[in-house]
């Protein structure tokens, strides 16, 4: 794809990765983009780079706009992660920029990643700004959103926020703006991105959103490092980040199970029926079929998490262990929790699931239910009642 002029003398010069399907265990079914942005002013400034295999894509676009890479005066590294900095060594070698701006933690990270001593690195902190001619670039450190080095850049004259990984989506598309793609797909990918990457850093996101409000930044465009540019749905994505960063949930329950011979599956369906009989929306997912990152996306706004597994070798099934380990690392909070499962002769799965729920700080509303081998009709009726118990807890939280 050729360079794309976002506004006068401001270009998208990134790369589209149509083929990526896994990002650190996160399923990227719609691919991704690695966005870089070029501002042509008295000081020609490039914001971020691309993943190393796409270095030539970036360089070709820059040459198309500038004619000569050595016209680049400044590079701003908002985020050091390799999908945004992989092209830097070749780019710096060929462009010979006057300065490379980064946060104090970014300075350390660039040294530790690339071990280059002669790069013209310049540290900037929150409140610092530089003039690039007709435009100014203001810097705001966003530590741990989602790396220690992260920062965002704001161009007040253009009302543009260059947001690094914040507000991103793993979404490969030839379109560059939010109003040029399907809204439901866009928000689904934004939610998946938040759930699987940003969620552990929600307190920092909440703080950043308050800082942006206090600074009274006027924002007409948000330029993330992944996905499309926000121009028509800025309020929608900021409102979504406010909800997600404060762990606001909708009144629905997520039931996830891993089953050996369908007994735990029967229990899962009975619990779901109990929830539905009380008017609670339910999503049922099979850990053997549904990808961990798709399950995690549903966790984001679920009020109740109900996990079930058969017992295998005194533990839960490995599919459930995989899902729970992944979810725990992303630190969902303010959830209602319950566990269930079938067993043959030992039955430890429920105990192990409860431990995960405790580590997630979930409010466990049932001690856990076990059925030996194949559940009887009476045991399935008990599972229905458990669903009703969880529904009651959801309603109580709603009314609290």
pLDDT tens sequence across 291-331: 999 999 999 999 999 999 999 998 899 999 999 999 999 99
Containing structural domain, residue 319 = 253-395
Task: Check if 60 is active-site.
Answer: no
Domain containing residue 330: CATH number: 3.40.50.360
**Per-residue pLDDT tens for 271-292?**
999 999 999 999 999 999 999 9
Task: Check if 193 is active-site.
Answer: yes
Q: What is residue 399's predicted lDDT score, i.e. its pLDDT?
A: 65
Catalytic pick among 74, 193, 241, 326: 193
**Pair of tokens at residue 264:** 């735990």
Within this chain, do residues 206 and 277 fall inside the same structural domain, yes or no?
no
pLDDT at 362 over 80: yes
Task: Check if 81 is active-site.
Answer: yes
Q: Is 277 helix (H, G, I), strand (E, B) or coil?
A: helix
Q: At what angle do helices 349-359 and 318-329 cross, to 10 degrees?
A: 10
Phi-psi region of 262 (alpha: psi -120 to 50; beta: other; left: phi over 0): left
Within this chain, do residues 300 and 216 fall inside the same structural domain, yes or no?
no
Task: Check if 24 is active-site.
Answer: yes
Q: What percent of the chain has pLDDT over 70?
A: 100
Tell me, yes or no, whether 400 lies in a domain: no
Within this chain, do residues 63 and 194 fall inside the same structural domain, yes or no?
yes
Q: What is residue 38's predicted lDDT score, i.e. its pLDDT?
A: 98
Q: What is the distance between the alpha carbons of residues 198 and 300, in angstroms, rounded to a whole number?
A: 11
**Per-residue pLDDT tens for 7-35?**
999 999 999 999 999 988 899 999 999 99
Task: Check if 84 is active-site.
Answer: no
Beta bridge partners of 123: 102
Within this chain, do residues 166 and 270 fall inside the same structural domain, yes or no?
no
Domain containing residue 208: CATH number: 3.60.15.10
pLDDT at 235 over 60: yes
Tell me, yes or no, whether 248 lies in a domain: no
Domain finish residue from 196, 231, 266: 231
Q: What is the distance between the alpha carbons of residues 134 and 359, in angstroms, rounded to a whole number?
A: 52
Q: What is residue 400's predicted lDDT score, i.e. its pLDDT?
A: 56
Task: Check if 115 is active-site.
Answer: no
Of the chain, the end-to-end C-alpha distance in Å amounts to: 52
pLDDT at 339 over 60: yes
Tell me, yes or no, whether 236 lies in a domain: no
Tell me, yes or no, whether 247 lies in a domain: no
**Pair of tokens at residue 95:** 């462009």
Within this chain, do residues 35 and 173 fall inside the same structural domain, yes or no?
yes
Catalytic pick among 37, 41, 146, 366: 146
pTM beyond 0.75, yes or no:
yes
Tell me, yes or no, whether 88 lies in a domain: yes
Sequence-separated (6 or more) residues with CB below 8 Å from residue 187: 236, 237, 240
Our count of domains for the chain comes to: 2
Using alpha carbons, select from 373, 324, 376, 330 the residue that is nearest to residue 351. Answer: 324
Report how many helices (DSSP H) and strands (DSSP E) the chain contains, helices first: 12, 24
Task: Check if 170 is active-site.
Answer: no
Q: Is 32 helix (H, G, I), strand (E, B) or coil?
A: strand
Q: Is 160 helix (H, G, I), strand (E, B) or coil?
A: strand
Within this chain, do residues 160 and 259 fall inside the same structural domain, yes or no?
no
**Per-residue pLDDT tens for 183-221?**
999 999 999 999 999 999 999 999 989 988 888 899 999
Residue listed under structure tokens 């060594």: 89
């Amino acid at each position: 794809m050729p360079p794309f002029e976002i506004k006068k003398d401001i270009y998208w010069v990134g790369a589209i990765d149509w083929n990526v399907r896994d990002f650190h265990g996160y399923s990227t079914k719609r691919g991704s983009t690695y966005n870089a942005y070029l501002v042509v002013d008295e000081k020609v400034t490039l914001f971020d780079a691309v993943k190393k295999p796409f270095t030539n894509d970036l360089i070709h676009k820059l040459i198309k706009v500038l004619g000569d890479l050595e016209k680049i005066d400044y590079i701003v590294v908002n985020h050091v992660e390799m999908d945004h900095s992989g092209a830097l060594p070749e780019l710096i070698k060929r462009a010979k920029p006057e300065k490379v701006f980064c946060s104090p933690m970014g300075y350390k990270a660039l040294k530790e990643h690339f071990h280059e001593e002669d790069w013209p690195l310049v540290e900037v902190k929150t409140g610092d700004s530089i003039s690039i001619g007709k435009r100014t670039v203001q810097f705001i450190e966003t530590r741990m959103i989602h790396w220690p080095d992260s920062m965002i850049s704001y161009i007040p004259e253009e009302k543009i926020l260059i947001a690094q990984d914040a507000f991103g989506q793993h979404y490969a598309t030839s379109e560059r703006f939010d109003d040029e793609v399907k809204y439901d797909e866009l928000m689904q990918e934004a939610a998946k991105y938040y759930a699987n990457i940003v969620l552990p850093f929600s307190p920092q996101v909440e703080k950043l959103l308050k800082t942006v409000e206090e600074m009274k930044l006027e924002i007409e465009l948000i330029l993330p490092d992944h996905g499309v540019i926000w121009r028509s749905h800025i309020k929608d994505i900021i409102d979504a980040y406010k909800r997600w960063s404060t762990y606001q949930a909708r009144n629905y329950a997520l039931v996830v199970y891993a089953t050996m011979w369908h007994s735990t599956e029967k229990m899962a369906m009975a619990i779901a029926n109990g929830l539905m009989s009380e008017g609670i929306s339910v999503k049922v997912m099979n850990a053997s079929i549904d990808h961990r990152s798709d399950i995690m996306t549903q966790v984001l706004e679920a009020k109740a998490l109900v996990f079930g597994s058969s017992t295998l070798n005194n533990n839960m099934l490995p599919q459930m262990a995989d899902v729970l380990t992944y979810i725990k690392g992303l630190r969902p909070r303010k959830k209602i929790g319950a566990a269930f499962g079938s067993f043959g002769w030992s039955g430890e799965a429920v105990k192990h699931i409860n431990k995960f729920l405790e580590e997630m700080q979930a409010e466990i509303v049932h001690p856990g239910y076990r059925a030996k081998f194949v559940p009887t009709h009476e045991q399935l009726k008990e599972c229905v009642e458990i669903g009703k118990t969880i529904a009651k807890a959801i309603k109580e939280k709603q009314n609290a």
